[in-house]
Amino acid sequence: MEKQIRRIGVLTSGGDAPGMNAAVRAVVRAAGSKGIECIGIRRGWNGLINNDFVRMDTSSVSHIINKGGTLLYTARSEEFRQVSGQDKALSTCRLLGLDAIIAIGGDGTFRGALELSRRAAELNYTLTVAGIPATIDNDIGCSHYTIGFDTACNTAIECIDKLRDTMQSHERCSVVEVMGRHAGYLALHVGLSVGATAVLIPERKLDFERDVVEKIRRARLAGTTHYMVVIAEGVGGAMEISQRIKDEIGIDPRVTVLGHIQRGGSPSAQDRVTASRMGYAAVKAITEGAGNCIVATKSGQLVTLEMEEALKMKKDFDMGGYQILEALTNNCGRL
Ligand code: F6P
């Protein structure tokens, strides 16, 4: 017989992402609507290890849907990777009487959740875990979309639009590094949105002559005198790229690393709505006996995936988007 879910722990883990608060709110309120209690675990998995928690009710999540960051704090826990850390975490789960945990974060967060559930089973304790994908990198294999991505894109776009003003006035080249960890989703979307001269992503092996020099050359021949080169952090070396531009074609770029500013700010409508839908769906899934699962999106629709299977999934990078970018820049015409 399925174990009845009476109390859920909710946590945020890994790098924060705008919309995490909206997801916490949705979990707490959806659970409350079913008569299920929620405990907020603070500072990611460290909170379970260190007994760091807060009781939550519907009013404790009032006025947070519009806030960036995470009111539960977040962390990346080394200790939780060890069985000893997981055992400490399970002791807290037992102490608090948690039947389930909803973890909001990236794939590392979900792998930790699955290991915890397995370890619990070894100790004859049933702990259901559910994952909600939230990272500005959009790099989770099982989900087409992750909470925070849209807001981070918008933040980067706003910054680059400002940079463009000064680059245009001074007829300069800007090399802008955006986040994304090992993935180029953020760089591609931002590059498309700002009409970048060139976009460098880790999914495409760099050919400096083809991807940078030729792009700037064509833009110049089309009459442009300022250039925007967007580079994903996963490519690495914004300074080196800039230096090579200077050395090879005599243009002296200015380098901007947007950095953590991309992780902050009030979540966009897309992130608030996705977080609300995913939080609601995660509570529904675990209370309806879905078992360990991840709530994901597939072609814009919400899907609930078995966690172990979901963690094996990979998504194809949007190379079609890259082709569109190439076709739409002001350097695409034949010389
Ligand atoms: O995963 C989110 C992210 O912001 C990545 O884009 C980036 O590589 C990393 O986290 C930065 O991590 P930290 O906050 O530890 O500097």
Contact status, residue 13 vs residue 112, Cβ threshold 8 Å = yes
Q: Read off the pLDDT of residues 266-285 as tens digits, 9 standing for 90 and up.
A: 999 999 999 999 999 999 99
Share above pLDDT 70 across residues of the chain, in percent, rounded to a whole number: 97
Q: What is the mean pLDDT of residues 5-34?
A: 98
Q: How remote is the CA of residue 15 from the centroid of ligand 1, in Å?
A: 6
**Atom of ligand 1 at shortest range from CA of 137:** 6
Q: How many Cα neighbours within 13 Å face the side chain of 220?
A: 12
Share above pLDDT 90 across residues of the chain, in percent, rounded to a whole number: 95
Alpha helices in the chain (DSSP H): 20-33, 45-49, 83-96, 107-122, 149-170, 185-194, 208, 214-221, 238-249, 269-287, 307-312, 319-328
Q: Read off the pLDDT of residues 140-161 as tens digits, 9 standing for 90 and up.
A: 999 999 999 999 999 999 999 9
CA dist 25 and 156 (Å) reads 26
Q: How remote is the CA of residue 26 from the centroid of ligand 1, in Å?
A: 25
Tell me the chain's radius of gyration from C-alpha atoms. Answer: 22
Q: Read off the pLDDT of residues 213-236 as tens digits, 9 standing for 90 and up.
A: 999 999 999 999 999 999 999 998
Q: How remote is the CA of residue 136 from the centroid of ligand 1, in Å?
A: 9
Q: How remote is the CA of residue 105 from the centroid of ligand 1, in Å?
A: 12
pLDDT of 3 above 80: no
**Atom of ligand 1 at shortest range from CA of 180:** 6
Q: Read off the pLDDT of residues 156-194 as tens digits, 9 standing for 90 and up.
A: 999 999 999 999 999 999 999 999 999 999 999 999 999
With left for phi above 0 and alpha for psi between -120 and 50, is residue 264 left, alpha or beta?
beta
Q: How remote is the CA of residue 240 from the centroid of ligand 1, in Å?
A: 21
What is the reported pLDDT for 329?
79
CA dist 149 and 187 (Å) reads 11
Q: How remote is the CA of residue 139 from the centroid of ligand 1, in Å?
A: 12
Tokens 């079913």 map to which residue? 34
Q: Is 16 a catalytic residue?
A: no
Written as six digits, the tokens of 62 are 């009032």
User: What's the full length of the chain, in residues?
Assistant: 335
Helix, strand, coil share (%) of the chain residues, nearest 5:
45, 20, 35
Contact status, residue 271 vs residue 150, Cβ threshold 8 Å = yes
pLDDT of 78 above 90: yes
- Ligand 1 binding pocket mutation candidate from 76, 181, 231 (most atoms within 8 A of CB): 181
> Confidence band (pLDDT; 50, 70, 90) for 45?
very high
Atom 5 of ligand 1 has which residue's CA nearest to it? 181
Atom 7 of ligand 1 has which residue's CA nearest to it? 181
Atom 16 of ligand 1 has which residue's CA nearest to it? 260
For the Cβ of 15 lying below 6 angstroms from any atom of ligand 1, the answer is yes
CA dist 311 and 40 (Å) reads 24
* DSSP assigned state of 147: B
Q: Read off the pLDDT of residues 257-271 as tens digits, 9 standing for 90 and up.
A: 999 999 999 999 999
Q: What is the mean pLDDT of residues 75-81?
A: 95
**Atom of ligand 1 at shortest range from CA of 76:** 15
**Atom of ligand 1 at shortest range from CA of 181:** 8
CB atoms within 10 A of CB 36: 20
> Confidence band (pLDDT; 50, 70, 90) for 2?
low
> Confidence band (pLDDT; 50, 70, 90) for 302?
very high
pTM summary value: 0.97
Q: Which amino acid is at 302?
A: L
- Ligand 1 binding pocket mutation candidate from 179, 231, 261 (most atoms within 8 A of CB): 179
**Is the Cα dihedral 153, 155, 156, 157 positive or negative?**
positive
Contact status, residue 292 vs residue 114, Cβ threshold 8 Å = yes
Q: What is the mean pLDDT of residues 27-43?
A: 98
Tell me which residue of 101, 48, 46 sits closest to 78, measured CA to CA.
46
From the DSSP assignment, how many helices (H) and strands (E) are in the chain? 12, 11
Contacts for 227 with CB less than 8 Å, ≥ 6 apart: 167, 172, 173, 174, 197, 198, 215, 216, 219, 251, 253
> Confidence band (pLDDT; 50, 70, 90) for 335?
very low
In angstroms, the Cα distances linking 68 to 11, 52, 63, 245 are 15, 22, 12, 36
- Cβ-in-10-Å burial (0-12, 13-18, 19+) of 175 comes to buried
Catalytic site residue from 16, 99, 107, 137: 137
**Atom of ligand 1 at shortest range from CA of 262:** 4
pLDDT of 333 above 90: no
CA dist 126 and 290 (Å) reads 13
